[in-house]
Amino acid sequence: MGTNNRHASCAVRRSRTGAVAVAKKTTKKHDDVLKGLSLQDSGIIESALAMQLNNIEQSGLDPKTHAMVRIAALISVDAAPASFMWQIGVALESGVTPDEILGIMVALAPTIGMAKIVATAPEIALALGVELDDIMA
């Protein structure tokens, strides 16, 4: 049978007899980085942030435009809430306004569909500090 990549670090293979073998696909470096991120290790996080700065420079975009493009990408892939929290924080620090974030959502709607816009709206609202308690009850 085929490979089931449910977890990035493992490949699960099932033999004809039904036995399951798990093959680890990460290196020690991967393990260390993932553990460091999970434990909020400041060295690992600083390294990731440095990659962010390098990416902005390499893109040729100004930080504000770069942040807006990344928000659009997160919406398009229906990213995890933590990704929105972090990227919208970066965007606001780069001068992106809440109105511009709404503009990104409006601009994306015809391309990616309203379902994705609606699905990501709560994450964006929370990242912008909008209280959702009254509508989520």
Identify the DSSP state of 75: H
Best CA proximity match to 64, nearest among 34, 36, 35, 104: 104
**This prediction's pTM:** 0.64
pLDDT in tens, 23-33: 566 677 778 87
Best CA proximity match to 98, nearest among 135, 132, 53, 68: 68
Q: How far apart are CA 90 and CA 94, in angstroms?
A: 6
Higher pLDDT, 69 or 45: 69
φ, ψ at 33 (rounded to 5°): -65, -45
Per-residue confidence (pLDDT) for residue 76, from 0 to 100: 96
CB contact burial 5-42 (16+ within 10 A = b; e otherwise): eeeeebbeeeeeeeeeeeeeeeeeeeeebeebeeeeee
Residue 9 pLDDT grade (very low, low, confident, very high; cuts 50, 70, 90): very low
Mean pLDDT of 43-64: 82
pLDDT at 45 over 90: no
Per-residue confidence (pLDDT) for residue 12, from 0 to 100: 54
